[in-house]
Amino acid sequence: MGRLIRGRLPGPLAAPAVAGLLAASALLSWIAPAAAQSPDVTETLEPAVFVFTEPVQNSDIPVDITLIETVDGLYTALGLRRPKGRGPFPIVLFFTGNGGGGVPWVRHQVNHRAYTMERFLEAGYAVGWLRYRAEVWFEYTRVPKLEVSQHLAHQLLNRPPLEYDDLKTIVEYVRTLPYVDPDRVGLVGNSHGGGMILKATAEMDVAAAIASEPDATEVLQMDPTKFGADAEYRDMASVAPYLNKDVAMDRFRRIRTPILMMGRSDDHLQGIFETAYAWMKEAGVNVEWVSHDHPVHGYLIRIPKEDGVFQPDDIQLEAIAEALEFFGRYMPPSGQAAN
């Protein structure tokens, strides 16, 4: 897990103070010990993990804003919460979008997109909200799997890390937490986050995952010139000419994680969601499909607030119940038997 450094993180208006605090903490945790011990440049240094505990609006369960080191040494942010008690708990990690934003993004989502996470906490799951480096447009379709080696005394990579590599690092980290059952780690990714799940689970296993309205264009090896903000692929036939099924099927055959695909009936990219599901099914993946007619992209996690109170509609409540039932079959909370 690395060396844990706890502290208090300034509020959202204190960005310079945050930067100064992190810089000072880094100096204290690395440079000072290095100066005192004068390690050789080839010595392996223990990574530091920074944790800042904060209250969450309308909840008695706080969040640990956590900064962890990714594969190339840069830090990414996540917000972790757990039920009362000692655990070990199953954990479900939530994420959406193309990356970037860091601590402010995590803090905002934990406080303003918390409804679904609160339902999981009530059911006995630890939860997390993740952030990762920004997406690089269709880079996944052009590069090999990340390999880490060494040149002289230091790290050498065969390519720059991508956002889904950060997801894999985060999963590895939460498995080391003393209150987490390492065999019961689940993922909920929406939009680009859903596509990240399909990429990551072709290279690693988790207990279960939900890909909600997933941007599967990269894993389907889509022609990037045929995708953009105005793209519209409402059925499988409309998108099929721009995909590479051979490449996609090779990726899907490596997935061993049970996955629930959640579509959105009137989504302009529903044809991409359906194609990913159909090809995964054909590849032998343990995959399920459900689709809802809802006006909001990300309806599983984007629960509206009015006067500080979450206002889920009936479809959102149904989708959350489906998500809890799905995870309950593969990674139930302690005291519940898997179906």
The CATH code of the domain that includes 203 is 3.40.50.1820
333/337 Cα distance (integer angstroms): 8
Are residues 154 and 107 both part of a single domain? yes
Joined together, the tokens standing for residue 289 give: 């499909």
- Is residue 35's pLDDT more than 50? no
Are residues 199 and 232 both part of a single domain? yes
- Is residue 250's pLDDT more than 90? yes
Whether 162 is in a domain gets the answer yes
Query: Model pTM?
Result: 0.89
* 275-311 tens-digit pLDDT: 999 999 999 999 999 999 999 999 999 999 998 899 9
164/141 Cα distance (integer angstroms): 13
Give the structural domain span for 33: 1-53
Whether 339 is in a domain gets the answer no
Q: Which residues pair with 287 in a beta bridge?
A: 259
Q: What percent of the chain has pLDDT over 90?
A: 80
Are residues 32 and 60 both part of a single domain? no
Whether 20 is in a domain gets the answer yes
Kindly report the backbone phi and psi dihedral angles of residue 48, in degrees, each rounded to the nearest multiple of 5, phi listed first: -105, 140
Whether 64 is in a domain gets the answer yes
Contacts of 58 (CB under 8 A, 6+ apart): 308
Are residues 147 and 29 both part of a single domain? no
Question: For all residues of the chain together, what is the average pLDDT?
Answer: 90
Kindly report the backbone phi and psi dihedral angles of residue 197, in degrees, each rounded to the nearest multiple of 5, phi listed first: -60, -45
Whether 304 is in a domain gets the answer yes
- Is residue 36's pLDDT more than 80? no
Are residues 31 and 131 both part of a single domain? no
pLDDT of 19 reads: 43
Are residues 30 and 159 both part of a single domain? no
Sign, CA torsion 227/169/65/13 = negative
Q: How many CB atoms lie within 10 A of CB 248?
A: 23
Number of domains in the chain: 2
pLDDT of 87 reads: 93
- Is residue 45's pLDDT more than 90? no
First to last CA, the chain: 31
pLDDT of 313 reads: 98
Q: Any idea which residue has 């240094």 for tokens? A: 45
